[in-house]
Amino acid sequence: MAFLLALGLVGCGIDIAPSSEVSSLRVFGVQKDRPYARPGEEVTLRMLWADGSKNVGRPIQRLWLAGCVNPPADLYAGCLASFGSLAADPTGAALPPGVAIGQDDTFTFKLPEDIVASHARSPDPSQPAFGTSFVFFAACAGTLGFSPTGRGGFPLECRGPDGSLLGADDFVAGFSQIFAYEELRNENPTVTGFELNGRAVTPDCIDAACLGLDTQAPDCDASPELCVAACEKDGDPKCTEIPFRAVVAPSSVEADGLAALRGRSLTEQIWANYYADRGSLTSAVKLVNDATTGFNDSNPTELLAPRVPGPLRLWAVVHDNRGGTAWARLTITVK
Amino acid sequence: MSRAVKVKTLISGLGALGSLVWPSWALAQAPSADATAPAAESSSEPGASVAKPAVKMPVIQHFEQAPYPPEALAQGLTGEVVLKLTIGVDGKVSAAEVATPAGHGFDEAAQAAALKFHFSPAERNGVPVPVQILYKYAFTLQEQEVPAAEVAAPTVGNLGGKILIADSEVPLAGVKVKVIGPGAAELEALTDASGKWELTGLAPGAYKVAIEAPGFQPFSSDESVVAGEATEATYRVAAQGEGLEVTVVGERPPREVTRRTLARREIARIPGTNGDALRSIQSLPGVARPPGLAGLLIVRGSAPQDTLTFINGTEVPLIYHFGGLSSVIPTELLEKIDFYPGNFSARYGLAQGGIVDVEIARPNTKCKEQRSVAAGEHCYHGLIQSDLIDNRFILQGPVGASKTWSFAAGGRRSWVDVWLKPVLEEAGASVTSAPVYHDYQLILHNQADADTSWRLQAYGADDELKLIINDPSAQDPGFGGSLTLSTGFYQIQSIYEDQLTRNVRLESMFAVGQQTIGFSLGSFLFDLKVHPVTLRNEFGFQLNRGMTLNVGMDFALLPFEVTVRAPPPPNPGEPDPGPFASRPSLETYQKSTGFRPGWYTEFEWQATEKLRLVPSMRFDYARDSGQSDVSPRLNARYELTGKTASDGSPSRQTFLKGGVGIFHQPPQFQETDPVFGTPGLESNRSIHYALGVERELLDQLDLSVEGFYKDKRNLVSRAPDTNGTFRYDNEGAGYAMGLETLLKYRADARFFGWVAYTLSRSVLRDRPEKPERLFEFDQTHNLTVLGNYQLGRGWEFGARFRVISGNLATPVVQQGLPALYSADAAAYAPLQADLYSRRLPLFHQLDLRLDKMWKFDWWAFSTYLDVQNAYNNQAVEALVYNYNFSQESYQTGLPLIPNIGVRGEF
């Protein structure tokens, strides 16, 4: 199967937009201050988003929806039914008990005290008692509302100025899952900066500092390391590929506590998702740390600069496989 | 009509009577004229009972009178010398060996005369072939005709006829015919080379004709003799035992409704398969096309895991290298593949789909025609082959000077690592260990006599791949990091077959081995090790002429150790759980011993001359699930028209066939695992119904049409319980039905080919409260047309064209958001529309194959070009989406792929 998977990776592919291309409204990540929390703790979530559409500066509504605890089979889909009454009430005035709503780029809510106790014991005896809660979010380049029809089972919808439903380019909805353990902990990975063309460069921002931050194109005379030459045409494979990677602190790689409880020596799996609002990247996702073989700190993606000079924003969102997230942004100038 | 009575009188000028005896044995020993069409090659057919290689026996054209040995003549002695004659393709006798001496000078006289015989050469499928036959040279004292005046009044009649081998027009010569007349008077006659016999001057009355020929089932018939008339009858006798089945007579009447057999030549030459053994099955009716390179056997709307594959009776779970690249047993070592798409014999259990039984060939020790060897000498054969996928070798022949022991040894190593490593690296993977596979086979065979054989065979295979996926999938970044895949198995098998008595047959198989599957990706892990011990014994009791009782046991002891660490996989019909990367893993470790014994009994009952019934019962127990299953089955076959019409004119055989039976299959491992599944599940159950017709249209052309219906009940399915935890139960159900048509031109010297068409529909209902849906691999139409023609001068050309309904896919919802963003995994979870509700575009593909062989004195060199997807059709295999499922496109299949191979063999 792996062989076939490998073949699938290398051949007979398709030519559709890669995830690294930011040409529409995008949510890059949601960072929790406590990826693993304790029962009754407050958790704060931050949403990193960007609007890559040509309609620059259009307002983007954000919304958070929390309160789904221990759904059937621990699947997000099991939450959608519990939000049914929201869909029935387009105003959202009558929130079901335990449901919390938030707006803006950050949102804080409290986990129930009994989140672990109320969760069914796992059939895996090696798995410690845990509970889980889903937080849904949305970013809308129009007007957000509760869906009276609940299309697709999701209770929110986004409508444009003419009342039409907006699609995936203008409306992003999703979820983040918080695990609650009595003992286990997980911290977010740590991004310390970027490396561009083999040289360390200072990012525009890291983590919370990136929320709502304006773009400032660097001066090529003052910061030549942040300037790259334009390509003759967009996506030109003959154009020079510029290595680019987020620098992740090796110390932020944690042991997988769950695996340790099972007597195994594994670390977190960590990877980085890269995004560019112009030009293109040769790889959208890069491995940072493998659970068995360890840290992989020389694994850059490559940037193909666009044809048109001007500022170019690059994001790296680093994830671990236990809900930890960190990010950073870098703006460069294409000359 | 002669009215002379026979009076043995000593006179001078004596003659000799010669006759061919046991022609079936003779052909079984015939050396092959063509290495690509070995003598042991079995025929293939839409239904087994119409398997008939076109065989023509040698006919004597010049008979040399042997001088009667003076000493024997003086003493009034008679004698019968059985000679083993080697007859070349020119009809000349190159060797005459005394098989059964008579002494008194008869042996030398017969030997000298036989070397001067001349025959018309034997032919197989129209091509002259060298042959060894047994020839009985009888020295008798000539009869003297007594004047008619001395004979009683003409109040007698004659009784005679012809004896043929069942299911063929091959005469049976040298057979002793016993005739018991009124007053228990016993007379005897011997059939001549054309199978004819006659007794004259019999008193009117009732006679019992009994035929006993070595290697054939006893036969008797009641006849009447009328004064002044000649009573003539044609009898067809059926062969006994396996050894004869593959030579002249074809297969035993099947115990199943449908058995489709692929012979080695067909397997090796089907275009688009690279001569791969198991991939050839996908050209048969009832078998769906799997997507891409996947080595899945999807039979009559059943899931891939519902069809089991056996090698000489032992189940082999890993039948393909790397899940579909090539079969683990090379074609060159196969005798044949029997494929049972449904209603299979009670010999097989624990499966509710179909059965594939691969038979490894007896080592080839026959000498080629070109070699000048003494009769009975055995020869060695070797083969070296290389193509773009792998290199292989095979060596086989006798063990030393033994005439009963033979061996075969083979090995294969892939070299896809040479070209795949850079391809994978180009795709962003860091390859630690390039993908490589190898397999090996060692066979030791003892053929004590025609009825007794013992074989010890060891075979195994290993696959290994290690790489680091530096660029994880954007659709699911959890699929990244260190990937290791290692699978392997070995099996040591002892197979003993013996005709214990004339009416009792024993087949015994014992096997031990090891199977390992190791897979890890990032933090996910699957590690399985099994040491299976399997035992299969079957006794066949021929109770009387029309009834055989088969009693068998089928035990599997499965000590295993397994570790799994992964999120629970979603089942079809469940909501998409989101990317793997966002879900916590479960872990299970089990060390136990599975025990799955089975017992079966089966009657093969020739209820009437035309009706054959095979009722059977199988009992299975699975200790892992604690389930006992009883599976009754009934198969039937009725001869609508025979080889000969009622007026004696030649006719074409037509069979009506059908069956109904219950088939159980225990749950899969993960379904009963205490962590990933639910202990206490019952077995899946299917009821198979089949009804069809087989008709011989022309000498080489057969038509088979069969309808089937499969009622699936008690299927394992999964749903959340009151705590929200998914639990398995047996609430699933479904059905599959269809019509299979096979128009097949049986392989002759130049051509083989067929047209296979299947119309089918397979439906599942995952839960009682859920609507029906199409089975994942449902294919409404499946048409395969293929043929292979020997052009002459060593050239051979084949083509295969397939038109098949497109695959099914599950699209995303058409309105509103198509997917939700799983922020922890940085990937989208699609909001799916109805499961498998989209039919993708029609699949069609042309495959071509060209072979060329150069024959030299003692060896041959050949090369082939196998072109898959010759006109480079961009066949749609799946739906694919961009990262947020807002754009949809098609994943296309493999492009035009040429594969070139070379082979040297002797």
Tell me if A292 and B482 make a contact (CB, 8 A cut-off): yes
- Which of A152-166, B142-156, B433-447, B830-844 is predicted with the least confidence, judged by mean pLDDT? B142-156
The residue of chain B nearest to residue A35, with distances taken between CA atoms, is: B824
pLDDT above 80 (res B821): yes
> pTM for the whole thing?
0.76
Q: Which residues contact B752 (CB under 8 A, 6 or more apart)?
A: B44, B265, B266, B269, B745, B746, B787, B788
Average confidence (pLDDT) over A48-56: 91
Residue B267 phi/psi, 5-degree rounding, is: -60, -45
Residue among A73, A292, A296 minimizing CB distance to B720:
A73
pLDDT above 50 (res B550): yes
d(CA B21, CA B99): 12
pLDDT above 60 (res B47): no
Interface probe for B, chosen from A269, A270, A301, A317 (most Cβ of B below 10 Å), is A269
Interface of A with B in 50-69 (CB under 8 A): none
Tell me if A3 and B881 make a contact (CB, 8 A cut-off): no
Question: A237-278, pLDDT tens digit by residue?
Answer: 788 999 999 999 999 999 988 777 777 788 999 999 999 999
Tell me if A27 and B823 make a contact (CB, 8 A cut-off): yes
pLDDT above 60 (res B53): no
- Which of B24-28, B722-726, B765-769 is predicted with the least confidence, judged by mean pLDDT? B24-28
Interface probe for A, chosen from B824, B882, B889 (most Cβ of A below 10 Å), is B824
What ipTM describes this predicted complex?
Answer: 0.94
Angstrom distances, CA of residue B18 to CA of B64, B138, B544, B670, B704:
10, 6, 33, 69, 43
Chain B hits for A70, Cβ within 8 Å: 724
Residue B784: pLDDT band (50, 70, 90) is: very high
pLDDT for the residue numbered A92: 57
pLDDT for the residue numbered B353: 93
Residue among A27, A73, A175 minimizing CB distance to B726:
A73
Q: Which residue has the higher pLDDT, B105 or B39?
A: B105
pLDDT for the residue numbered B68: 81
The residue of chain A nearest to residue B473, with distances taken between CA atoms, is: A285
CB neighbour class for A211 (10 Å; exposed up to 12, middle 13-18, buried from 19): middle
- Which of A176-185, B578-587, B789-798 is predicted with the least confidence, judged by mean pLDDT? B578-587
pLDDT for the residue numbered B36: 31
Chain B hits for A176, Cβ within 8 Å: 822-824
pLDDT for the residue numbered B169: 56
pLDDT for the residue numbered B674: 85
Residue B115 phi/psi, 5-degree rounding, is: -65, -15
CB B801 within 8 A of CB B867: no
Residue B545: pLDDT band (50, 70, 90) is: confident
The residue of chain A nearest to residue B884, with distances taken between CA atoms, is: A168
d(CA A158, CA A138): 9
**Structure letter (DSSP) for residue A88:** H
Alpha carbon of A179: minimum distance to chain B alpha carbons (Å): 9
Question: B687-715, pLDDT tens digit by residue?
Answer: 999 999 999 998 889 999 999 999 999 99
Residue A114: pLDDT band (50, 70, 90) is: very high
Alpha carbon of B676: minimum distance to chain A alpha carbons (Å): 8
- Which of A297-306, B200-209, B871-880 is predicted with the least confidence, judged by mean pLDDT? B200-209
pLDDT above 60 (res B10): no
Question: B295-306, pLDDT tens digit by residue?
Answer: 788 999 999 999
Q: Across all residues in chain B, what is the average pLDDT?
A: 82
Interface probe for B, chosen from A3, A31, A275 (most Cβ of B below 10 Å), is A3
Q: What is the DSSP string of B652-684?
A: --EEEEEEEEEEEEPPPHHHH-TTTS-TTPPPE
Residue B197: pLDDT band (50, 70, 90) is: confident
Residue B735: pLDDT band (50, 70, 90) is: very high
Taking one residue from A and the other from B, the number of pairs with CB-CB distance under 8 angstroms is: 256
The residue of chain A nearest to residue B465, with distances taken between CA atoms, is: A3
**DSSP three-state, residue B229:** coil
Residue B3: pLDDT band (50, 70, 90) is: very low
Looking at chain B, the whole-number percentage of residues with pLDDT higher than 90 is: 40
Q: Which residues contact A289 (CB under 8 A, 6 or more apart)?
A: A248, A253, A267, A268, A269, A270, A295, A296, A320
Tell me if B823 and A174 make a contact (CB, 8 A cut-off): yes
pLDDT above 60 (res B51): no
> CA B15 from chain center: how many Å?
48
Average confidence (pLDDT) over B322-351: 88
Angle CA B661–B775–B679, to nearest 5: 70
Alpha carbon of B627: minimum distance to chain A alpha carbons (Å): 22
Average confidence (pLDDT) over B581-589: 77
CB B24 within 8 A of CB B155: no
Alpha carbon of B281: minimum distance to chain A alpha carbons (Å): 20
Average confidence (pLDDT) over B134-150: 58
> CA B204 from chain center: how many Å?
50
The residue of chain A nearest to residue B421, with distances taken between CA atoms, is: A6
Residue among A78, A259, A266 minimizing CB distance to B724:
A78
Interface probe for B, chosen from A188, A280, A282, A285 (most Cβ of B below 10 Å), is A285
Average confidence (pLDDT) over B36-65: 50
Residue B110: pLDDT band (50, 70, 90) is: confident
pLDDT above 70 (res B668): yes
pLDDT above 90 (res B491): yes
pLDDT above 70 (res B248): no
d(CA A53, CA A59): 12
Average confidence (pLDDT) over B90-115: 84
Residue B98: pLDDT band (50, 70, 90) is: confident
d(CA B268, CA B361): 14
Q: Which residue has the higher pLDDT, B815 or B573?
A: B815
Question: B361-401, pLDDT tens digit by residue?
Answer: 889 888 765 445 554 577 899 999 998 888 999 999 999 88
Name, of B53-62, B123-132, B825-834, B864-873, the range with top average pLDDT.
Answer: B864-873
Tell me if A3 and B323 make a contact (CB, 8 A cut-off): yes
Residue among B816, B824, B882 minimizing CB distance to A157:
B816
pLDDT for the residue numbered A236: 79
Q: Which residue has the higher pLDDT, A146 or B613?
A: B613
Residue B6: pLDDT band (50, 70, 90) is: very low
**CB-based contact (8 Å) between A171 and chain B?**
yes
pLDDT for the residue numbered B581: 67
CB B533 within 8 A of CB B557: yes
Residues B668, B673, B676, B682: is their CA dihedral positive or negative? positive
Chain A hits for B823, Cβ within 8 Å: 27, 29-30, 137, 174-176, 325
- Which of B152-166, B168-182, B501-515, B801-815 is predicted with the least confidence, judged by mean pLDDT? B152-166
End-to-end CA distance of chain A: 46
pLDDT for the residue numbered B92: 85
Alpha carbon of B833: minimum distance to chain A alpha carbons (Å): 8
pLDDT for the residue numbered A191: 96
pLDDT for the residue numbered B230: 75
Residue among A71, A179, A285 minimizing CB distance to B584:
A179
Chain B hits for A322, Cβ within 8 Å: 584
pLDDT for the residue numbered A11: 40
pLDDT for the residue numbered B158: 83
Interface of A with B in 265-304 (CB under 8 A): 266, 269, 271, 273, 283-287, 290-293, 296, 299
The residue of chain A nearest to residue B889, with distances taken between CA atoms, is: A14
Tell me if A12 and B720 make a contact (CB, 8 A cut-off): no
Please identify which residue in the block is written with the tokens 């499961």.
Answer: B835
**CB-based contact (8 Å) between A127 and chain B?**
yes
Tell me if A291 and B522 make a contact (CB, 8 A cut-off): yes
Alpha carbon of A298: minimum distance to chain B alpha carbons (Å): 10
Interface probe for A, chosen from B470, B526, B887 (most Cβ of A below 10 Å), is B470
Question: B252-286, pLDDT tens digit by residue?
Answer: 567 777 788 887 788 888 998 888 878 888 899 99
